[in-house]
């Protein structure tokens, strides 16, 4: 058994991580830190945990653990390390964007960096949209076939975090849809960096249009580019690339988000139209896009089976 702690555990990703670690057969959840909720039961923020744990939120992190997950807002992880020094024995998995472009840290996409993650002491967990886009495009880059690509993607309201805002409350989201951060989304830098690990000469834009969806969780991405392959060849290439990826699968039919919600899966679907390859990918933004992938990385770092604690059932209905 390893001891784990969560810093910044009162949000959506902290809650999902808490649920996963409480049910992981090789983990003892030692603490969940939250200054705003310190002293209160975890179930006061996450009512589904009534009867699951008697843990209370703590005000300060503890150091007698084997791994710490940072689930704070972007910028807060950097501030955390400016104010705190952790023992070298503690492994770190950071779910913010602070270290994703840091060459001294391992980028935690298992389908790209599995062997590096196994040896890592510090893993920067990918962003949710970044995960979905990268898994849609990495096989193309691996084969030197990535060209200028057009991408659209829609995400649920939980992708915006737990703090309410003008574009997350029910009366605005319900029966509504909108774009945001068109061509400028913060995840594009890590996407480009990851793709260039396979195709260093890639110098084309990723034309990305993100949408806010009127649902709570899940991401559906659609990307297309010109491609000389036949559809059969493209499917073979994608299946080979993900042959050793236990959570990423090539699907025969067009996707919907309910296939992946509440799972750590990424499903990928390919179609060919007039010489253009269309690739769909679907993930749960809070699991494969955040907390589930963090646990997947933890499993690799500690030598556990990669799927341990992550064999989850989709909420298909």
What is the tens place of the pLDDT at every residue in 128-160?
999 999 999 999 999 999 999 999 999 999 988
pLDDT 10s digits, 32-68:
999 999 999 999 999 999 999 999 999 999 999 999 9
Domain 128-286 maps to which CATH number in 1.10.579.10, 1.10.10.10, 3.30.360.10, 3.40.30.10? 3.30.360.10
Q: What is the DSSP letter of 40?
A: S
Predicted confidence (pLDDT) at residue 229 exceeds the cutoff of 90: yes
Question: With contact defined as beta carbons under 8 Å apart, do 34 and 57 qualify?
Answer: yes
251's tokens: 């699907």
Predicted confidence (pLDDT) at residue 73 exceeds the cutoff of 90: no
CATH code assigned to 2-125+288-301:
3.40.50.720
CATH 3.30.360.10: which residues of the chain?
A: 128-286
Average pLDDT over residues 72-98: 95
d(CA 265, CA 99) in angstroms, rounded, equals 24
Q: What percent of the chain has pLDDT over 90?
A: 93
Q: What is the DSSP letter of 262?
A: T
Using pLDDT thresholds of 50, 70 and 90, give the confidence band for residue 29.
Answer: very high
CA distances from 170 to 47, 164, 176, 177, 234 (A): 20, 10, 10, 12, 41
d(CA 12, CA 194) in angstroms, rounded, equals 26
Number of neighbouring beta carbons within 10 Å of residue 73: 14
CA distances from 257 to 34, 261, 283 (A): 31, 6, 7
pLDDT 10s digits, 195-206:
999 999 999 989
Q: Which among 74, 68, 108, 76 is positioned nearest to 92, based on CA atoms?
A: 68
Phi, psi of 33 (to 5 degrees): -95, 135
Structure confidence at residue 167 (pLDDT): 87
What does the mean pLDDT of the chain come to? 96
Structure confidence at residue 209 (pLDDT): 98
Structure confidence at residue 237 (pLDDT): 98
Average pLDDT over residues 94-113: 97
CATH 3.40.50.720: which residues of the chain?
A: 2-125+288-301
Average pLDDT over residues 256-276: 97
Predicted confidence (pLDDT) at residue 208 exceeds the cutoff of 90: yes
- Concerning whether 128 is annotated as a catalytic residue, the answer is yes
22's tokens: 């409480």
Structure confidence at residue 166 (pLDDT): 84
> Would you say the pTM of this structure is higher than 0.85?
yes
Q: What percent of the chain has pLDDT over 70?
A: 100
């Amino acid at each position: 058994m390893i001891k784990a702690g969560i810093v910044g555990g009162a949000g959506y990703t902290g809650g999902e991580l808490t649920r996963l670690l409480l049910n992981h057969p090789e983990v003892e959840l030692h603490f969940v830190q939250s200054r705003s909720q310190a002293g209160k039961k975890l179930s006061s923020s996450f009512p589904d945990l009534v009867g699951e744990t008697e843990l209370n939120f703590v005000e300060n992190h503890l150091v007698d653990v084997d791994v710490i997950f940072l689930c704070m807002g972007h910028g807060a992880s950097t501030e955390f390390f400016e104010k705190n020094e952790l023992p070298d024995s503690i492994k770190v998995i950071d779910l913010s964007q602070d270290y994703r472009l840091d060459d001294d840290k391992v980028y935690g996409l298992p389908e790209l960096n599995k062997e590096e993650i196994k040896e890592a002491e510090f893993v920067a967990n990918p962003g949710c949209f970044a995960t979905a886009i990268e898994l849609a495009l990495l096989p193309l880059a691996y084969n030197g076939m990535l060209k200028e690509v057009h991408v659209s993607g829609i995400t649920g309201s939980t992708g915006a975090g737990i703090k309410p805002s003008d574009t997350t409350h029910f009366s605005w989201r319900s029966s509504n849809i909108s774009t945001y951060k068109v061509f400028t989304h913060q995840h594009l830098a890590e996407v480009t960096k990851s793709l260039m690990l396979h195709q260093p000469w890639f110098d084309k834009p990723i034309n990305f249009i993100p949408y806010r969806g009127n649902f709570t969780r899940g991401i559906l991405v659609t990307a297309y580019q010109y491609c000389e392959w036949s559809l059969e060849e493209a499917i073979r290439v994608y299946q080979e690339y993900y042959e050793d990826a236990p959570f990423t699968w090539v699907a025969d039919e067009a996707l919907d988000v309910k296939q992946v919600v509440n799972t750590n899966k990424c499903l990928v679907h390919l179609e060919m139209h007039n010489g253009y390859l269309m690739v769909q990918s679907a993930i749960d933004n809070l699991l494969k896009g955040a907390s589930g992938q963090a646990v997947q990385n933890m499993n690799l770092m500690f030598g556990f089976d990669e799927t341990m604690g992550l064999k989850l059932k989709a909420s298909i209905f």
